[in-house]
Chain A
Amino acid sequence: MAFRVSELAAEVNGVSYAYPDGFMALQEVNLKVAKGERLAILGPNGAGKSTLLMILNGLYAPSSGEVSVLGVPVNDENMSAVRRDVGLVFQDPDDQLFSPTLWEDVCFGPLNMGLPEEDVRERSSEALDAVGLTGYEQKAPHHLSAGEKKRAAIATVLTMHPKILLLDEPTVNLDPRNRLELANLLRSLHNRREMTLITASHDVNFLPEVADRAYILNKGHVTSEGSLREVFSSSRLMSEANLEPPTITRLFSILAEKKNARTESLPLTVEEALSALERRLSSQDQT
């Protein structure tokens, strides 16, 4: 995929990262993300997904290679701008919610940005409203449910008005209803705020809801890249990454195989499957 530099939200060039014990978490990773894009970083456990997100936020400095976000190199000089523009939602919300009340947690980021108090209050109320947690200001994080904690963690980042939102395994520990609510929330953030979404996950059933394009990361290497449909439809790519396609895609793929039918595009979501079935039924009715 070709991008103009001005269109890029993030660019990673030849990045490697070694942990202090010498373990190479990332090796020569190259990646480009367009502004406003919804990107998935797909890979099994231990692929290096979280490390890559930490590098994009400037929390880890790469051992070699270059990273830039919105045209600005990620280095000590630009760190405050990077932290402001790139919001990172950690895998475990308990890591992110460390204050005695939710209000203090959502105010933490904008206060560190040195914003006037009125702005901090306005942004915090707005962020809580965006995630549907208005009225929870004085709640202690340990009194929130898993779904509320996840939404609260997103709110703590939204107060900084990031242009890029990084999500690390966002569906871990969420029940089906909370997963659905999270998908709706992320879609609405992307649409209303034109935010670039980068989701690192191995939850193949969730990713079609929040991503259009994917990079496959395995053992620290980017093994392939393409639209989510291309990636999920390729059994070779999926097995290389130790992953399975979404359940609905698998079902349609097996059905197509059994019927020897030609499939132009396999559905990734239930909605897509439903319209495919409806089309099929109506064409049968006509014949």
Chain B
Amino acid sequence: MLSSFVNAIQETVYAERYSTTIGLLQQIDPRVKLFSVAALVLSAVAVRTIAPLVVLLGAIVILCIASGVPLAFFTLRTTVFIPIFAGLIALPLLFMTPGVALASLKLDGIALVVTSQGLCRAAQFTLRVWVCVALSVLLILTTRFSKLIGAMDYLRFPRVFVMMTSITYRFIFLFLNEGYRMLLARESRITKELRWRENVGSLARIVATLFIRAHERGERVYLAMAARGYAGTLRRLDKMRCVKRDWAFASISALICAAMLSVEYLHLGGF
């Protein structure tokens, strides 16, 4: 079971199935994509009404289709994160927001009342999270990781952050697999059911060993970099150039952001 979990995560993170196909987003300069997605996410966070979010969701669906990402796959991929990120926070909003009662239920003598305002706030929050997750997933699915790292570097993200992200992506599963092998080795030597305390103790030792191994690996990777002349500055070869299509995409993204914020702050619509 653990093995299939590791494989599933690996497949999710490493699969570059859609980023190498030809589609609308795949052809956009990664810097433009990164910048546009960041602007759209910020706009989604800034609005307090549902209508602009619905419009943005519509735009995401169109982009998804135009980029050749199957909708069913995309929906599943984004929905997986919703209960984790939004569900736990949105659930209490249903009952805790004062307003017109829609339904009530009793749990151990405590009466919980679902209000229409609560429902509206919970839906708004969930939709906002959904839109933000969907934008991020769409960016990752349609951009090769190396290009994304390159874009972060060009956009002058802190060098340490860019390098750490790149190395984490490269080595995370090496360690996940190493941890998995250590767990297997532990299982192979267990002859009776362990008590909770013993279980936690042995797992803690595995985690500690993994930390030590990660530290040692880090040392060796640094030596390998130094052996090839690394002196603290990361140099890149691939130059990125924006073409008309990129400018058009950036302009449309800016227009969507402006429209969303206008609806919100100039009270041009929404509920």
Contacts and interface: CB of A to CB of B under 8 A. Distances in A.
Contacts of B145: 100, 140
A143 interface: yes
Contacts of B229: 80, 83-84, 109, 112-113, 160
Given A83-B229, A112-B235, A140-B14, A100 B170 contact: yes
Interface in A15-39: none
A122 to B, nearest CB: 12
A99 B166 contact: yes
A95 B14 contact: no
A170 to B, nearest CB: 15
B221 A108 contact: no
A88 interface: yes
In the complex, which range does the number of interface residues on chain B fall in? 20 to 34
B224 A96 contact: yes
A107 interface: yes
A219 interface: no
B146 A100 contact: yes
A98 B225 contact: yes
Contacts of B157: none
A142 interface: yes
B133 to A, nearest CB: 23
A142 B170 CA distance: 7
Nearest to A88: B227
B231 interface: yes
Interface string B142-164: 00111001000000000000000
A98 B237 contact: no
Contacts of B223: 54, 59, 90, 95
Contacts of B237: 104, 107, 111, 117, 120-121
A94 interface: yes
Contacts of B146: 99-101, 104, 138, 140
A108 B14 contact: no
Interface residues of A, number: 36
Q: Which of B14, B167, B225 has the most CB of A within 10 A?
A: B225
Contact of A156 (B169, B173, B228): B228
Contacts of B14: 140, 142-143
Contacts of A48: none
Contacts of B215: none
A244 interface: no
B86 to A, nearest CB: 30
A16 B146 CA distance: 42
B180 to A, nearest CB: 15
A57 interface: yes
A108 B230 contact: yes
Contacts of B217: 94-95
A92 interface: yes
Q: Which of A84, A99, A113, A120 has the most CB of B within 10 A?
A: A99
A59 B227 contact: yes
A97 to B, nearest CB: 8
B225 A108 contact: yes
Nearest to A83: B229
Nearest to A80: B229
Contacts of B224: 88, 90, 95-96, 98
Q: Which of A92, A121, A140 has the most CB of B within 10 A?
A: A140
B174 interface: yes
B236 to A, nearest CB: 8
Nearest to B227: A88
B220 interface: yes
A142 B221 contact: no
A157 interface: yes
B260 to A, nearest CB: 33
Q: Which of B173, B217, B221 has the most CB of A within 10 A?
A: B221
B11 to A, nearest CB: 12
A98 B228 contact: no
Nearest to A108: B228
A43 interface: no
B62 interface: no
A173 B146 CA distance: 27
A245 interface: no
Interface in B98-113: none
Contacts of B170: 97-100, 140-142
Contacts of A142: 14, 170, 173-174
Interface of B: 14, 16, 144-146, 149, 166-167, 169-171, 173-174, 217, 220-221, 223-231, 235-237
13 contacts: A59-B223, A84-B229, A95-B221, A95-B223, A98-B221, A99-B146, A99-B170, A107-B237, A108-B228, A112-B230, A112-B231, A142-B14, A142-B170
Given A83-B228, A98-B221, A140-B16, 5 more contacts: A99-B146, A100-B169, A104-B146, A112-B229, A142-B174
